[in-house]
Amino acid sequence: MKTDYNVRCYYRDGKWGEIEVSSSEDINIHMAATCLHYGQEAFEGLKAFRCKDGKIRSFRIEANAARLQSTCRGIMMPELPTELFVEMCKKVVKLNENFIPPYGTGASLYLRPLLIGTGAQVGVKPANEYLFMIFVTPVGPYFKGGFQANPYVITRKYDRSAPLGTGVYKVGGNYAASLKAHVEACHGGQYACEFYLDAKEKKYIDEAGAANFFGIKDGVYVTPKSTSILPSITNMSLIQVAEDLGIKVERRPIAIDELADFQEAGACGTAAVISPIERVDDPEAGKSYNFGKQPGPISTKLYETLRAIQLGEIEDKHNWNTVIE
């Protein structure tokens, strides 16, 4: 949905400039910009919520800034200082305050920070100029019919990223690499999303195209540990919430066959917080792993707790929320 304003900041001559406000949805870049040829592009995703007390809160802005900085280091772009990232997030939310959905609707204002190489460069090397911008759009509740479980499918035919590649960075190329698998697996309407296995051995669960995986095994929150998985801020938050609730947490490789031992499973990310998994099919192996048609009790508790923190309904003991005034 078109909103009123976006915010921009240019990197030129070795330094970041002033914050600019724009009402245009367009950007003007050179045809030889490195973002178009060599993939110098990174983005983030976070939300702002109108809360029960009437205040506006955004969830874990600093963590998004840190992840963007990690991506910048990985693909040779200048790091955006945390203070500048936070200031621009606050500014774009305030400028578009009228688009923040009301409390109780399950809807929110989605922020999309985007950093691209704009310097013209035909040789394969980093650009000398960059553009960072943030635009926003209201988004509806992820679960239109309430918190519910969906089927997922394992894809063995494609890899999302290599073990020591760009999988740990939030770059557009990772998503481009997932599109064919996603369309083949999901556009028949049978599955909500695809799951990738580790590219090296095809033995372990990695992640979905746009979300981390977790499972509940004998009351323990288990999530994969891998050098090709994007570090999900939602997953990091759920790990902390689980520990706060007295739930043991394990981060380790999860073999495919171990899925049979899990009582609950879910995909976690900014869009849904938790998308409970009804079952994971592995068609090429002729197997299916079932977790129940309804979200499990631990997944439900984690989901409700994290959502309550985001909405300011319960104590934010880790100071994750930024109140935007």
pTM confidence score: 0.96
Among candidate residues 193, 217, 196, the one with its CA nearest the CA of residue 275: 193
pLDDT at 143: 78
Q: How large a percentage of the chain has pLDDT more than 70?
A: 100
User: What's the one-letter identity of residue 74?
Assistant: G
d(CA 324, CA 97): 10
Q: What per-residue confidence (pLDDT) applies to 238?
A: 98
Q: Round to whole Å and give the CA distance between 176 and 233.
A: 21
92 residue type, one letter? V
Q: What pLDDT, in 10s, does the model give residues 44-100? A: 999 999 999 999 999 999 999 999 999 999 999 999 999 999 999 999 999 999 999
- Helix/strand/coil (H/E/C) assignment for every residue in the chain: CCCCCEEEEEEECCEECCCEEECCCCCCCCCCEHHHHCCCEEECCEEEEECCCCCEEEECHHHHHHHHHHHHHHCCCCCCCHHHHHHHHHHHHHHCHHHCCCCCCCCEEEEEEEEEECCECCCCCCCCCEEEEEEEEEECCCCCCCCCCEEEEEECCCCCCCCCCCCCCCCHHHHHHHHHHHHHHHCCCCCCEEEEECCCCCCEEEEECCCEEEEEECCEEEECCCCCCCCCHHHHHHHHHHHHCCCCEEECCCEHHHHHHCCEEEEEECCCEEEEEEEEEEHHHCEEEECCCCCCHHHHHHHHHHHHHHCCCCCCCCCCEEEEC
Which whole number is the average pLDDT over 294-314?
97
Rounded to an integer, the average pLDDT of 277-297 is 96
pLDDT, position 198 = 95
Q: Is the pLDDT of residue 187 over 90?
A: no
Q: Is the pLDDT of residue 163 over 80?
A: yes
Judge contact between 11 and 17, C-beta under 8 A.
yes
Quote the pLDDT of residue 87. Answer: 98
pLDDT, tens digit (0-9, with 9 covering 90-100), for 87-116: 999 999 999 999 999 999 999 999 999 999
Q: Which residues have a Cβ under 8 Å from the Cβ of 19 and sit 6 or more positions away?
A: 7, 8, 9, 84, 87, 88, 91
Tell me what pLDDT residue 126 has: 97
Q: Tokens standing for 208? A: 């979905």
Per-residue pLDDT, 142: 84
pLDDT for residue 188: 82
What distance in Å separates the CA atoms of residue 194 and residue 51, rounded to the nearest whole number? 33
pLDDT mean across residues, the chain: 96
Q: How far apart are CA 142 and CA 188, in angstroms?
A: 20
Query: What's the burial of 201, exposed, middle or buried (CB within 10 Å: 0-12/13-18/19+)?
Result: exposed
**For residues 160-168, average pLDDT:** 93
